[in-house]
Structure 1
Amino acid sequence: MNGVSPLLAAVEGFLRFLKVERQLSPLTQINYRRQLSALIVLLDELKVVDWARLDAALVRSLAARSTRSGLKPASLALRLSALRSFLDWLMSQGMIKANPAKGVATPRAGRHLPKNIDVDEVNRLLEIDLNDPLAVRDRAMLEVMYGAGLRLSELVGIDLGHLDLASGEVWVVGKGSKERRLPMGRTAVHWIENWLEMRELFDPEDNALFLSNKGKRISTRNVQKRFAEWGVKQGISSHIHPHKLRHSFATHMLESSGDLRAVQELLGHANLTTTQIYTHLDFQHLASVYDAAHPRAKRGKS
């Protein structure tokens, strides 16, 4: 179809709503625009010129065409989610009477959960040869990452004012700008103190806790690179990256405590279901808890 699609005007109105009213991040706005633009292309091919013509069968056809074009399940789920949100907005504007995308199932994407490393491997990873200040910094970063279960962005975002070493706590800003205070553990506090004694050697340019060798806040890419290098040096069998340490923290905490709610709070998850998936609860552990606790599981003499 030549020229500008008649479907585009409503999308532009929706995107203005996301920017002004919802104040979503620029990246989220770009993602919505990309997915809805792709859908307009498909609808143009089908000679659809009015959003009110959409029904469940047409939405399923769009999903099928997207899949045939090579779109992966996770990306298709994102596309359908963008469409649902857009159609909800059209309803709120009185432009359509119902949302036909609501009844179309989202394909399940396979979950690729990171494997955790066991406690012995964590201990081996953290036994770093401390022959230079950067090694002390890296040891402190590893201890804090594993000790508090932080996200990578939370680790590099720590400022000096975010620490309460007396109580062994750190203050971080997580997803959605949500703040939380977390315990770090005595070992992490000890290595932060060791690093603070050497931090001034790098002529700090700001209040960032962890610095690069140029005195600036360390970048996420630098942390990823250093962690991977230490994994190789320490003879760890799997690739070491920050998310794996966070995942290991969650797994080890859950195995020891069995307190899913507490682990949820520590990780900063909004939903408990996220924590359940993240920590890949061991079915055998659940079965043993069930057998020990549930009245109907207790076997008495017949």
Structure 2
Amino acid sequence: MREVDLRLASGRKGTFIAYRDATLFKAAYAWGLRASEAAGLDVTDFYRNPHAPEFGPFGMLLVRNGKSSSGGAPKRRSVATLHGWTADAVRDYVENIWPLVRDESSNALWLSERGRRLRADDVSRRFAEYRDELALDQVLSPHALRHSYVTHLTEDGVDPMFIQRQVGHAYQSTTAIYTAVSGDFANKMMRKAVSGLLAAAGAGKVEQ
């Protein structure tokens, strides 16, 4: 029997909730989701990416309820899976936890102990409870996970246009607002820019 089965079989109150929340927040970070987008996920929103077969059936995620523009219909987007650990986490949840609480009439991914789909305010409330328990900054919300996703991809050198598509922003300037790179990264980029300019200036002198 797997560890998750042992923990669930123990009957300890809150075990399912803690496991669900851990997987939920991993997914929100790993796919750069808003709280409403994460809450609205169905199990069937995951599918294979032929360009990343190592993630199996969790290679892509269809976000069906992205933020709308000017009161229009929710925007849909496909988000590529970038981390093996989150594909493994969601797979484990879907195979071992979800079947124990799912409502046969729904494919909702994140459920309460009574089988009800979580709402965006449920996600925010659960995040706040963990935040307060850990004595983290009160300003933090689930949206901080989305900001961290953009920042970490930027620091890892991922193409800005790809990041923009992943998070569903219409404009690159919006994505840039999300980025709060570390001082070390900023210094590294500054040093790279200076070195490039010096190299270009040196090459110009040689040509003269």
TM-score under structure 1 length normalisation: 0.50
Q: Does 1:202 align with 2:105?
A: no
Residues 62 and 76 in structure 2, CA contact (< 8 A), matched pair in contact too:
no
Counterpart-to-counterpart distance in 1, 2:138 and 2:156: 23
How far the C-alpha of 1:201 sits from its partner, in A, is 2.6
Aligned-CA RMSD value? 2.8
**Cα offsets for 1:82-129 (capped at 9, x unmatched):** xxxxxxxxxxxxxxxxxxxxxxxxxxxxxxxxxxxxxxxxxxxxxxxx
- Contact kept in structure 2, 1:160 and 1:207, CA below 8 Å: yes
Is 1:212 the counterpart of 2:95? The answer is no
Q: Is the 8 A contact 1:171 1:181 kept in 2?
A: yes
Which residue does the alignment assign to 1:272? 172
**Conserved 8 A contact 1:290-1:297:** no
* Residue of 63, 79, 85 corresponding to 1:181: 79
> Computing the radius of gyration over CA atoms, which structure comes out larger, 1 or 2?
1
Listed one character per residue, the Cα deviations across residues 265-299 of structure 1 (whole Å, up to 9, x for unaligned) are: 21111111111222146754543332133467656
Moved more, 249-258 or 171-180: 171-180
Counterpart of 1:291 in structure 2 is: 194
Which position in structure 1 is the counterpart of 2:16? 133
Of 238, 249, 254, the match for 2:149 = 249
TM-score, with length taken from structure 2: 0.71
Distance 1:151 1:217 in 2: 16
Residue 258 to residue 284, structure 1, CA distance change in 2 (3 Å): farther
How many pairs were matched up? 173
Q: Does 1:172 align with 2:63?
A: yes
- One-letter amino acid of the counterpart of residue 133, structure 2: K
Cα 1:242/1:203, change in 2 over 3 Å: same
For 2:9, the equivalent position in structure 1 comes to: none
Q: Structure 2 unaligned segments of length 5 or more: list them.
A: 1-12, 48-54, 69-74
Paired residue type of 1:132: T
Structure number with the bigger relative contact order (C-alpha 8 A, sep ≥ 6) is: 2
Q: Distance in 1 between matches of 2:167 and 2:124?
A: 19
Paired amino acid for 1:169: M
> How far is the alpha carbon of 1:250 from its aligned partner?
0.7
Task: Name stretches of at least 5 consecutive residues in structure 1 with no aligned partner.
Answer: 1-129
